[in-house]
Amino acid sequence: MTREQKYADQLQALGIYDPCFEPAIHTLAIMERDHQRTLKLWREGGSDPTSELYAVIERQRRDILAHRDALGLTPRGLRRLRGAFLPADKDGDDDARPTVLSMLQKKWA
């Protein structure tokens, strides 16, 4: 299973998947592959935390986290997207919306 498929499955399990996310999912997967290559080069070069390569690694991590957040794959991003995909009850009762835990429990039950 590719990274893209894993992310699409995670988003579907959370109930926030939309086909318009595909380009962002693909970009995130590319960024993670690049990050893995950069980590490999850094480790082969002695793993010096003061090297310029380590600064690139830190920047890649921030960018990856920002993309995960935009897709709803972080708690903060999920709260933001859940409001867009799972509106509150007609009475305005936000507690009636499913939680991440209840959605995951339903999936694995």
pLDDT at 90: 47
Mean pLDDT value of segment 11-23: 91
Integer CA distances (angstroms), 35 to 4, 59, 107, in order = 16, 10, 31
Q: Which of 103, 100, 83 is nearest to 92 (CA)?
A: 83
Res 89 pLDDT > 60:
no
Domain count, the chain: 1
pLDDT at 16: 87
pLDDT at 65: 96
Q: Which of 38, 100, 103 is nearest to 73 (CA)?
A: 100
> The pTM is what?
0.73
- Spatial neighbors of 24 by CB under 8 A, at least 6 apart, are 67, 70, 71
> Structural domain of residue 19, as residue ranges?
3-108
Q: What single-letter DSSP state applies at residue 51?
A: S
pLDDT at 42: 96
User: 35-80 pLDDT, tens per residue?
Assistant: 999 999 999 999 999 999 999 999 999 999 999 999 999 999 988 8
Cα gap 53→82, rounded to integer Å:
37
